[in-house]
Structure 1
Amino acid sequence: MHIVFSSKQKDIIRRPFNYELEVNEGTPRSGKTTAGHFRYARYLIESEDENHLVSAYNQEQAYRLFIDGDGTGLMHIFDGNCQIRHDEHGDHLLIETPKGTKRVYYKGGGKVNSVGAITGMSLGSVVFCEINLLHMDFIQECFRRTWAAKLRYHLADLNPPAPQHPVIKEVFDVQNTRWTHWTMDDNPILTEKRKKDIITSLKKNPYLYKRDVLGQRVMPQGVIYGLFDMERNIKDSLFGEPIEMYFTADGGQSDATSMSCNIVTRLRENGKVTFRLNRVAHYYHSGAETGQIKAMSTYATELKQFIEWCTKKYQLRYTDVWVDPACKSLREELHKIGIMTRKAMNNAHDVNSKSKGIEVGIERGQNIISDGRFVLVNHSEEEYDHYHFLKEIGLYSRDDKGKPIDKDNHAMDEFRYSVNVFVTRYINFI
């Protein structure tokens, strides 16, 4: 492969390994991950330790972001000298280097029980992809797993988080850290025209402009669901008595197709009966993001499999499948294979005393998030997890006129549909 590196990428790749944690933080499409691929490949050649780890929110992302890396990941850099293997510690890339065989395991670290996947392992190094999405217990355990390394090394990358994000105080500020800032100007493959187009589209939103163009850590005033709390609104099990399961979906071919499984539970708190909306699983596929465009019939088949997976796992019968009314072809394909659907409550005609249209649904979502009635519930499997929901909820925001931006919102739209069902059926205060 022939790759042109920017001066910053070359500097990153050639630096000595004299820091135990290196952090590449900056805008999307800044070239930081590609530099990380080659930097880490250099480390693996120099290291004498055998076992290493690449981590991301889930195993699929760890493989996609760093093992494959869209053509520049480790499996391509070491092409001809590596192969995918599996042993008692899990899936890994087995690499032959001048200093011996290296095993690079790739695992998910986004959940509290992710720690179990690395307990007992002795590692020379760890790569943290999108470290701000990983569970803090997992991150801290990774640092403990490398205490005995001969050349101890950790590499993290992330887009700018909020200034108060715990990873800054609890990881970056306490380790022997070298931090590097990245912007689009550091990526040699982006043309001036492309950069100008990105800047023009993001200028409508001050939050996204500062974060994704300037690479600044900014308070998420413009983020619509900014009150979502990674601790308070994420749980590891259902609480209360399950009383209904239903599905909501938004679809597209080049755009993302998103479907969530939602379970309503009933709880008795302080002598009162309350209800909670639990988002327990998520199907998500983006043709634009993956480069793989699927037919609507394929989406329908995969969504049916998702529904069957959820009903088997949670041992519940579902009541309804709500699909965006605009997704007529997806609804028709689902009907053909025996999945009856209803038109999702999309707030098209909703009006209340303070808002109208989708703002009604957004307000409902904000309310149930802030009072703890909405939670993400993790499950032990990595299939159908909440990775894409968490990415979107951190990006879904308003433009400079206060209007929700029609971007990064496919999971957000079907989340709003699920909230509308929940509020209409179980809550009478909105």
Structure 2
Amino acid sequence: MADFYLRSPDQNHMVTAYNQEQAYRMFMDGDGLGLAHIFDGCSDIRHDEHGDHLLLYAPNGEKKIYYKGGGKVNSVGAITGMSLGSVTFLEFNLLHKDFINECFRRTFAAEWRYHLGEQNPPAPNHPNLELLERFEKSGRFLFRHWTPDDNPILSDDRKRELKEELSNSDYLFKRDWLGERVMPEGIIYSMFDQDTHMVKTVEGRVIETFFTADGGQGDATTCAFWCVAYNKGKYGLYRLANYYHSGTETGTTKAMSVYASEIKIFVEWCFDKWRNYPRPQYYFVDPACKSLREELHLVGIMTDKADNNSRDKVNSNGMKIEVGIERVQNVLSKQSLFLLDHGDKYDHYNLIKEIGMYVRNDNGLPIDKYNHALDELRYGVNYFTRTYLV
């Protein structure tokens, strides 16, 4: 990047990390190897109306390399209105999506438009990975996978020590030695495995089908179609398809009447695809989502109250939903819950993404985030457990 800054015809550039201190420490100072040291004698740390920056006295004109934090929800305000030639993203997976998107927009007018990003291996389907699709699909994306073998500081003896140390943990070995995207530690549904729980066919005789739904306008509205099958003396729960829309993620908020109409289209699609399956007796909807239930009634879908664990006993940590969480963990561990990979548009992408992000806080409580499809999953598992496993 130092070479790029010297050659670029654009004046303004930016380096960003989770906060400004990290951006300075990791790229400007860099333990004595950062930009401030590379350009020692021909640069100064300055401040102007756009913020702190390294002022570089390059042969083709002065360059300003700003360093800013991009991890907070309000970070985007610090760069709105700026015009940039390039952006360097440090720990891309920790930055806020709105900030990243604004960075891409800030470089639209650049003569040499360029983005460099580095990241730790994030969880599969991490939301920030979606932001790179525009470059992948247009053929303007280059990915390089680094491993310990690429680090010249590590001797062969040290690499052997590290490999032996990391091999004691499957998670650490995949993440830190192989550099793979794996489910993070502390994740609530860590027992989920795509190779095990994603299947191509429903095994056994289908006994019944049903729907579950949860709704919100800012939060996601989601509806899933399920079936219960009996195979070789064992009941299995299959999530066949899913409708999902998030106003927050897409920036488009829909009325509950629109959600109801789109869910009806989804329901009819399910009937057509699995026309040989029994028709559902139940349309379980979160009882707290009264407006969605009312709108579904208006389009001819009569709903039932989902078991959202509100009647269960309070867990030791004060959370009733822990009963439902334990049930989901149980059916995953016993390999009684499956997602059907049918290849059509109503897939399980959003559920898998949420599974990879749903964790506990430092006090051991589930964080109320990335759990909209997971709430609806819990309703399905609650019904399955009470009906077939108890």
TM over 0.5: yes
Q: Of residues 259, 263, 287 in structure 2, which corresponds to 1:303?
A: 263
- Equivalent residue, structure 1, for 2:193: 229
Which whole-Å CA distance do the structure 2 matches of 1:318 and 1:404 have between them?
A: 32
Matches within 5 A, 1:330-409: 330-351=292-313, 357-381=320-344, 383-409=345-371
Residue pair 1:245, 1:319 contacting (<8 A) in 2 also = yes
Which whole-Å CA distance do the structure 1 matches of 2:296 and 2:11 have between them?
A: 44
Matches within 5 A, 1:194-205: none
| Residue 26 (structure 1) aligned with residue 93 (structure 2) | yes
Alpha-carbon offset, residue 263 of structure 1 = 1.1
Residue pair 1:334, 1:340 contacting (<8 A) in 2 also = yes
**Shift in alpha-carbon separation, 1:8–1:403, aligned structure 2, 3 A:** closer
Residue pair 1:24, 1:32 contacting (<8 A) in 2 also = no
| Residue 244 (structure 1) aligned with residue 208 (structure 2) | yes
RMSD in angstroms over aligned alpha carbons?
4.3
Secondary structure of the equivalent of 1:257?
Answer: strand
Matches within 5 A, 1:314-333: 314-315=274-275, 316=277, 317-333=279-295
Alpha-carbon offset, residue 227 of structure 1 = 1.1
Alpha-carbon offset, residue 242 of structure 1 = 1.2
Which whole-Å CA distance do the structure 2 matches of 1:304 and 1:329 have between them?
A: 15
Matches within 5 A, 1:27-426: 27-29=94-96, 65-66=131-132, 104=139, 163-164=171-172, 219-221=184-186, 223-268=187-232, 273-315=233-275, 316=277, 317-351=279-313, 357-381=320-344, 383-426=345-388
Amino acid at match of 1:321: Y
Residue pair 2:14, 2:86 contacting (<8 A) in 1 also = no
Post-superposition CA distance 1:221-251 (Å, at most 9, x none): 2x21111112111112211111111110110
- Equivalent residue, structure 2, for 1:48: none
Amino acid at match of 1:375: F
If asked which structure has higher relative contact order (CA below 8 Å, sep 6+), I would say 1
Percent identity between matched residues is 39
Matched residue count: 276
Q: Of residues 15, 23, 28 in structure 2, which corresponds to 1:7?
A: 15
**Shift in alpha-carbon separation, 1:36–1:345, aligned structure 2, 3 A:** same
Post-superposition CA distance 1:338-358 (Å, at most 9, x none): 001001011101139989721
Alpha-carbon offset, residue 313 of structure 1 = 0.8
Alpha-carbon offset, residue 401 of structure 1 = 2.2
Which whole-Å CA distance do the structure 2 matches of 1:372 and 1:34 have between them?
A: 43
Which whole-Å CA distance do the structure 1 matches of 2:250 and 2:351 have between them?
A: 16
| Structure 2 segments unaligned to the other structure (5+ residues) | 1-9, 18-64, 66-84, 115-123, 146-169
Which whole-Å CA distance do the structure 2 matches of 1:379 and 1:318 have between them?
A: 20
Post-superposition CA distance 1:117-141 (Å, at most 9, x none): xxxxxxx98769xx9xxxxxxxxxx
Secondary structure of the equivalent of 1:6?
Answer: strand
What is the TM-score normalised by the length of structure 2? 0.59
| Structure 1 segments unaligned to the other structure (5+ residues) | 16-22, 46-55, 75-91, 94-103, 105-123, 132-161, 174-216
Amino acid at match of 1:65: L
Which whole-Å CA distance do the structure 2 matches of 1:320 and 1:333 have between them?
A: 17
Secondary structure of the equivalent of 1:388?
Answer: helix
Post-superposition CA distance 1:235-272 (Å, at most 9, x none): 1221111111111011001111011111111110xxxx
Which whole-Å CA distance do the structure 1 matches of 2:283 and 2:331 have between them?
A: 21
Residue pair 1:393, 1:412 contacting (<8 A) in 2 also = yes
**Shift in alpha-carbon separation, 1:294–1:415, aligned structure 2, 3 A:** same
Alpha-carbon offset, residue 395 of structure 1 = 1.4
Alpha-carbon offset, residue 301 of structure 1 = 0.4
- Equivalent residue, structure 2, for 1:181: none
**Shift in alpha-carbon separation, 1:254–1:35, aligned structure 2, 3 A:** closer
Residue pair 1:311, 1:318 contacting (<8 A) in 2 also = no
